[in-house]
Amino acid sequence: MAKANTQSVALDSGTLDNGADSKLAGHFKRNRFVYTFGALILAVGLALRIYLDTMGFTVGTDYYSDEFQTYWMPVLYGELILLGSFTVILSVYLWMTRETDASSISKELELQRYWKMLSIFSVMAVWAGAIASNAVESDAAWHQVTIRDTDFTPTHIIIFYFALPALTAMLIPAFIWTHTRIPAYMNKVSIPFLAVVCGILMIMPNYGFNEWGHTFFYAEELFAAPIHWGFVLLGWSLFFLIPLAFQLISNMTRLIAETTAEDYSQSA
């Protein structure tokens, strides 16, 4: 009897373990985009950070030196080509393959696409967190200890020409995908979503204003200088994520209620 009970407990334990394993596998399968793309961009960010720490002060303090042209300008050109190609090619593809008949999209598929949209924003949040915690302040620190020479410095090449533009490179295709794949956004424009995209996009021309101001007015990197106010104002565009989140959650709540009611009526 004791042996039978032991076998029963072992069998039940194995079943529970298998169930947990299957749930974990299902979780990773459903969220493979977040984990795969998130790990990829973090790996790229880590590689650039290591390159900055290794090469910045040895061959990166003088734009006019041969070493700078050899070790840093190819990084700049590669970043611009990569981000430009990614944004244009993906945006054109998403637009050319857009869906025109919203009625042909089932509620279950629409709900799946909302989850995919949240996955895209999760990846952006990972990248934005990495920038905020490990990149932005390094530029101010760089100018505190080195002489400002040109717009092209190691920290500028990594932050201004890759890290922040990468958010725009993800936001623009995401905006197009949302407005051509999700019925609630098709044939209309989400103002909160557009405000987020435009705010982050307009940070890039603010770089030019910032460098112009530093060249003629503010040699010192003062955090409260008026030429930095644009970064704060445009960064506030992220507050529009709050009404956008309300849009998403309300639409998802409606779809979950409708699909649940349909499944219940069919089972009854």
What is the predicted pLDDT for the residue at 210? 81
* Predicted structure pTM score: 0.83
Whether 225 is covered by a domain: the verdict is: yes
Cβ atoms < 10 Å from Cβ of 162: 23
Phi-psi label, residue 186: left if phi above 0, alpha if psi -120 to 50, beta otherwise: beta
Residue-number span of the structural domain to which 256 is assigned: 41-98+117-262
pLDDT at residue 13 above 90? no
In tens, the pLDDT along 134-170 reads 777 788 788 777 766 677 889 999 988 999 899 999 9
Whether 67 is covered by a domain: the verdict is: yes
Residues in the chain: 268
132 to each of 137, 139, 200, 228, how far by Cα in Å?
8, 11, 14, 16
* Total of domains in the chain: 1
Most confident of 20-24, 138-142, 164-168, 230-234: 164-168
Whether 87 is covered by a domain: the verdict is: yes
Single-letter code of the amino acid located at 205: P
pLDDT band per the 50, 70, 90 thresholds, residue 220? low
DSSP assignment of 115-184 equals HHHHHHHHHHHHHHHHHHHHTHHHHHHHHHHS---SS--HHHHHIIIIIHHHHHHHHHHHHHHHHHH-GG
Residues in CB range of 5: below 8 A, 6 or more apart:
none
Contact 56, 155 (CB under 8 A): yes
Whether 171 is covered by a domain: the verdict is: yes
Whether 134 is covered by a domain: the verdict is: yes
pLDDT at residue 34 above 90? no
Whether 157 is covered by a domain: the verdict is: yes
What is the predicted pLDDT for the residue at 8? 42
CATH number for the domain spanning 86: value is 1.20.1050.50
